[in-house]
Amino acid sequence: MIKPGLIKLCAALLCVIAGLTDGSDVTQTPILWKNKGDNATIDCRHTKGVDYYQMYWYRQLPGERMRQIVYTTQNTKPDYEPEFTMERFSATKPDALSGTFTVKNLVPEDKGLYFCAVRGAQCDTGREAYFGKGAKLTVLEPDHDVTPPTVQVFKPSEKECKVKTLVCVASGFYPDHVSVSWEVDGVTETDSVATDNTALREGKHYSLSSRLTVQSKTWFKPSRTFTCRVSFFNGTDTIDVEDSITGETDSGGMPNDTKMKIMQNAKLTYSVLIAKSFIYGVFIMFLVWKLKGLSGKQSSRERSCGLNN
């Protein structure tokens, strides 16, 4: 018989066991779109065989870490973590290959990702834990209309040199069922893309930003097109909203920092020339003044000699 303490220890170790992110053998409800006060039920099935009869349910709320809710096995009472109760969460395990999980009387704070994981017998069997890809639960608020995003792409800053960063902003959408992708001349870019992990709530709507980094030589081609596509799920279908901009001509054929240095050097050279000109002018004025003084003295001596004669 498996001891309860051993079960909880196994559960705690699930997140560090190799293979836990492999969801190819575990399938679960991908999206749930519910109203406040409804119940949301997630189905989970796996193809690992009857030896994998342990099922765990987790949730990850926006901005929080993943937390275990309940552990189940076939024909046994669910084992809930202390902060979760069966009054709000229900878990069933009718057989070794399937299970269900229900969040009751939904509130907006229940929205997030819910995962099921399956594992074999005791910890010392060496069997890995397998997770599903997660179910995204959205709880619609009564006074909020489903609204697709507005998308805009902003060109890189002129102060950037060797690397250019394009910014895509999706705003004004509800709820936050969106994903972002980038294309350069119709070819999908993934390696140089950074997208916010969660959407930012602004009143009744959300906003999200994504950044594409490219080399300056890629940006400085007017024929090149950069496209940001935001896919939005409206409860029935997924619609795409996108915006595009084209590259620019490299003015001067040199990086902006080089141009700045040249301008600074030119200003410095001009200032030095002005200073030298001023000093030279003062020197000339001094020579003229000196020559006038000598000329005056010589005239005085000549007049003095004439009188003596």
Is residue 309, in this structure, part of any structural domain at all?
Answer: no
What local confidence, expressed as pLDDT, does residue 109 receive? 92
What local confidence, expressed as pLDDT, does residue 9 receive? 41
- Are residues 130 and 222 both part of a single domain? no
Q: Final residue of a domain: which of 79, 114, 140?
A: 140
Q: What is the CATH number of the domain that holds 221?
A: 2.60.40.10
- Are residues 107 and 17 both part of a single domain? yes
- Are residues 181 and 208 both part of a single domain? yes
pLDDT reading at 251 higher than 50: yes
pLDDT reading at 305 higher than 60: no
Is residue 301, in this structure, part of any structural domain at all?
Answer: no
Is residue 302, in this structure, part of any structural domain at all?
Answer: no
Residue 28 pLDDT grade (very low, low, confident, very high; cuts 50, 70, 90): very high
Is residue 304, in this structure, part of any structural domain at all?
Answer: no
- Are residues 248 and 259 both part of a single domain? no
Number of structural domains, the chain?
Answer: 3
Residue 14 pLDDT grade (very low, low, confident, very high; cuts 50, 70, 90): very low
Is residue 267, in this structure, part of any structural domain at all?
Answer: yes
Q: Final residue of a domain: which of 88, 120, 140?
A: 140
- Are residues 106 and 180 both part of a single domain? no
Per-residue pLDDT, averaged over 198-210, amounts to 93
Q: Final residue of a domain: which of 115, 140, 165?
A: 140
Residue 259 pLDDT grade (very low, low, confident, very high; cuts 50, 70, 90): low
pLDDT reading at 309 higher than 90: no
Residue 16 pLDDT grade (very low, low, confident, very high; cuts 50, 70, 90): very low
- Are residues 159 and 135 both part of a single domain? no
Domain that holds residue 266: 255-295
CB 169 within 8 A of CB 193: no
pLDDT reading at 161 higher than 90: no
Q: With pLDDT > 90 as the criterion, what percentage of the chain qualifies?
A: 59
- Kindly report the average pLDDT of the chain as a whole number: 83
Per-residue pLDDT, averaged over 17-41, amounts to 79
Is residue 305, in this structure, part of any structural domain at all?
Answer: no
- Are residues 119 and 19 both part of a single domain? yes
